[in-house]
Amino acid sequence: MFDWGGGCLWCGNDAARARFGVGPVEDVLPLSDEVRQHLARLSVWHDGALDWADPAGASPWGSDEFARFEAAALAALVRVRAELGARFHVCYEPLG
């Protein structure tokens, strides 16, 4: 899942938190630099969905931008799963 202000891979259970800590963990997982950089770009893109001047207000994104982002996030999920392998369970929680 993505969080406002950065980070997109988070521990989802006590065992993972005990091993990797809290907060975003993409920098401590065995991922290639290419995938890490791609996730960082997705995080920046994600943050564009929030009106930072009025966080409770409507998103500046339309439905087309949300759909493009979700497609890119799902493609990134495939890449992350492929690099991490079966030792990790990686799931995605879509925006909204």
**Listed residue (46, 34, 35) closest to 90, CA to CA:** 35
Question: What's the Cα-to-Cα distance from 47 to each of 4, 41, 50, 81, 85, rounded to whole Å?
Answer: 6, 10, 6, 23, 28
pTM of the model: 0.87
pLDDT at 65: 97
pLDDT at 61: 96
pLDDT at 21: 83
pLDDT at 96: 64
pLDDT at 50: 95
Residue spans per domain, the chain = 14-87
Listed as own residue / partner, the contacts of 74-79 with beta carbons closer than 8 Å and 24 or more positions apart are: 76/35, 76/38, 76/39, 76/42, 79/35, 79/38
User: For the chain (length 96 residues), average pLDDT per consecutive 10?
Assistant: 87 89 88 96 95 96 96 96 94 80
